[in-house]
Amino acid sequence: MSDDKFKYQGAGREYQKQLLTAWYERLQSAKDDGRKIAYLFVPGNIAEFLRVFDFELVFPEVNALQCGVRKTSGDLILKAEDVGYSPDVCGYVKNDIGMMLAGNISPSGTQLPKPDLLLCTYCGCTTFIKWFEALAHYYDVPLVMLDVPYLRSDAIEEDDRQYIVLQLKELAVICEKITGKKYDHDKLVHITRHSEEAEDLWVKILHSAKHKPSPFDAYFEAVFFMAPIYVLRGLPECTDYYRRALLEVEERIEHGIGPIPNEKFRVVMEGPPPWPYFRAFWELLKKWDVCAVASSYSKVGGFWDHGFRHDPTRPLESIADYCLTCYTNLNLPMRTDLLHSYAEEYSADAIVIHSVKSCRSFSVGQADMREQFIRKWDIPTLLIESDLADPRYFQVAQLRNRIDAFFESLEHKRLVGV
């Protein structure tokens, strides 16, 4: 197949690189340019709301995962442990504290600015609260807590929605004082319109994994594809990126190509990746021609594939709905049912659970999940453990043995028709 047939391959990735580089450069120059900085988390992030006040946004988890990929997280974690943080504390927290103690240099090498506002959106992870309490102490800046009720049923209760909307209105007053800019509802409508369009495009990419072979790995590739939907959502360039990315995926479908050329097993992945050994982890599964066709981690910041969109006709209410429906804000039965539905919808052969030692938001209950997948639904399920940021917990020989034994068993069952 000649190269001229592939017009879009790589174009989206190159554009994303430019966008993220520009984002870090804006952060580095923000203070000199008189722009204010808000730190917030990916799950339940209210980026659209903060963009009304022209905040530049910093996401500590994004910095931590990039440090992991660049293999600098180990030293940063040790710096945090040297000042008293326990080995059992979330690897992201220790990476962030260590990075701050080392001068707050971003993974790309730029200087990260001190925040003017710490906004903790509590979406099911109690670690978020203590993490930003620590940063508030170190930076001596305001910490605002957006309290998000735990989702108790499939339907959002109107009282919960309005509880968050009222908090957003209170937050608007704080943001006005920090930035000197007035809340502009029309501007929020315009921003959420960009978000809605980007989300439509992202869902088409996610759903492309229903094709056989899948043109897209919804775990290992998704973690790169999904970066703009979190850190740049609401900006026109984010929407433009997903237009380009979708063209790339559609071209793959047209030519029957994908990340796993000889796709043999289709799996649903649960849990965050081990960032310091991201490539090595992928290779352990590639060896068996495994393609992840759906994952919970690619939804950690939003369930757009289940119908949610930011709504320009009711922007504050839709922001509240977004916060309420984050993956870490779902109860265990909801998470289990979600993964089961993905296994059916995407014709998966198995579920692979990567249990993260230092992330209780994901790992609590995963052993029970596995039992239910196997005993209730007869879905082969592999549970393995390492960490999302701490390289000390990735034992490649042990993981290889578990993965090889699991897929060898699946292959044997296929051969004998079981």
- The CATH number linked to 135 is 3.40.50
Residues 379, 343: contact at Cβ < 8 Å? Answer: yes
* Domains held by the chain: number: 2
Q: Is residue 169 in a domain?
A: no
Residue type present at position 284: L
Token pair 């799996």 in the structure block, residue: 267
Q: What is the CATH number of the domain that holds 339?
A: 3.40.50.11900
Give the pLDDT of residue 418: 66
| Residue 246 neighbours by CB distance under 10 Å | 20
The sign of the torsion formed by the CA atoms of 372, 377, 380, 386 equals negative
Q: Is residue 164 in a domain?
A: no
126 and 216 fall within a common domain: no
Nearest CA to 217 out of 352, 124, 381 is that of 352
Q: Is residue 181 in a domain?
A: no
Q: Is residue 178 in a domain?
A: no
Give the pLDDT of residue 64: 93
Q: Report the phi/psi class of residue 238: left, alpha or beta, with left for phi > 0 and alpha for psi in -120 to 50.
A: alpha
Q: Is residue 272 in a domain?
A: yes
Runs of H (alpha helix) within 30-117: 47-51, 60-69, 73-82, 91-101
113 and 10 fall within a common domain: yes
Residues 231, 92: contact at Cβ < 8 Å? Answer: no
350-356, strands of its sheet edge to edge: 290-295, 265-270, 350-356, 381-386
The sign of the torsion formed by the CA atoms of 283, 285, 291, 294 equals negative
Residues 116, 136: contact at Cβ < 8 Å? Answer: no
262 and 361 fall within a common domain: yes
> How far is it between the farthest Cα atoms of the chain?
70
In angstroms, the CA 123 to CA 14 distance is: 32
In angstroms, the CA 183 to CA 110 distance is: 30
Helix (H), strand (E) at residue 146: strand 143-147
259 and 396 fall within a common domain: yes
Give the pLDDT of residue 74: 94
Name the token pair of 94: 């220790």
228 and 137 fall within a common domain: no
* Final residue before a domain boundary, out of 159, 178, 197: 159
In angstroms, the CA 148 to CA 345 distance is: 30
Helix (H), strand (E) at residue 350: strand 350-356
360 and 404 fall within a common domain: yes
- Domain coverage including residue 353: 187-416
Per-10-residue mean pLDDT of the chain, 418 residues long, equals 66 90 94 95 94 97 93 94 91 94 91 95 82 94 93 89 97 98 98 97 97 96 92 96 96 93 96 95 97 93 87 97 89 92 97 91 88 96 95 94 97 85
Q: Is residue 369 in a domain?
A: yes
59 and 197 fall within a common domain: no
136 and 220 fall within a common domain: no
364 and 319 fall within a common domain: yes
142 and 214 fall within a common domain: no
In angstroms, the CA 301 to CA 322 distance is: 9
pTM recorded for the entire structure = 0.94
Q: Beta 143-147 vs 117-122: how paired, if at all?
A: parallel
Q: Is residue 165 in a domain?
A: no
Q: Is residue 221 in a domain?
A: yes
Give the pLDDT of residue 7: 81
125 and 268 fall within a common domain: no
127 and 192 fall within a common domain: no
